[in-house]
Amino acid sequence: MNSHPSTQDSKSPSSADGLLPNYSRREKSGNIERREFLKGLALTGIMASAPDGSSADRPKQDIPYHTLGQTGERVSAIGMGGFHLAQPGVEEAESIRLVRTAVDRGINFMDNSWDYNEGQSEIRMGKALKEGYRQKVFLMTKLDGRTKQEAAKQIDESLKRLQTDHVDLMQHHEIIRFEDPDRIFAKQGAHEAVLEAKKAGKIRYVGFTGHKDPHIHLYMLKVASDYGFKFDTVQMPLNVMDAHFRSFEKLVLPKLVEQGVGVLGMKSMGDGIILKSKTVQPAECLHYALNLPTSVVITGIDSMRILEQALEAARTFRPLSKDEVAALLAKTAQAAAKGDYELFKTSQHFDSTAHHPEWLGGQAPHVDQLAGPSS
C-alpha closest to that of 138 among 198, 203, 54 = 203
Average pLDDT over residues 262-289: 93
Stretch 242-256: mean pLDDT: 97
pLDDT (tens digit per residue) in 16-43: 233 345 554 443 444 444 444 444 444 4
State the Cα–Cα distance between residues 223 and 261, nearest whole angstrom.
Answer: 16
Q: Would you tell me how many other CB atoms lie within 10 Å of the CB of residue 340?
A: 14
* CA separation for the pair 15, 55 (Å, rounded): 5
**Is the model's pLDDT at 368 over the cut of 90?**
no
At residue 375, the pLDDT reads: 63
**Which one is predicted more confidently, 120 or 28?**
120
- pLDDT given for residue 153 in this prediction: 98
pLDDT attached to residue 22: 52
Quote the pLDDT of residue 362: 81
pLDDT at 58: 54
| pLDDT, position 297 | 98
- How does pLDDT run across 67-103, given as a tens digit for each residue? 999 999 999 999 999 999 999 999 999 999 999 999 9
H-helix segments, 337-373 = 343-346, 352-355, 365-371
Query: What's the average model confidence in pLDDT over 185-209?
Result: 97
SS3 of 373, please?
Answer: coil
Confidence bin at 359 (pLDDT 50/70/90): confident
pLDDT at position 72: 97
Question: Is the pTM above the cut of 0.95?
Answer: no
**Is pLDDT of 169 > 80?**
yes
| 44, 264 contact by CB (below 8 A) | no
Residue 23 has a pLDDT of 52
What average pLDDT does this structure show over 205-224? 97
Q: Which residue has the higher pLDDT, 38 or 200?
A: 200
Nearest to 256 by CA among 213, 288, 295, 211: 295
Please report the DSSP string for 29-66 in residue order.
-----HHHHHHHHHHHT---SPPPS-TTTS-TT---EE
DSSP 8-state symbol, 76: E
**Angle value at C-alpha 162, between 158 and 164, nearest 5 degrees:** 100
At 193 the pLDDT is: 98
Percent of the chain with pLDDT over 70: 83
Distance CA 37, CA 146 (A): 41
Distance separating the N- and C-terminal Cα atoms of the chain = 29
pLDDT the model gives residue 354: 84
Mean confidence (pLDDT) of the chain: 86
* Stretch among 44-58, 329-343, 350-364 having the lowest mean pLDDT: 44-58
What does the pLDDT read at residue 17?
A: 30
- Among the listed residues 115, 102, 108, the one whose alpha carbon sits nearest the alpha carbon of residue 139: 108
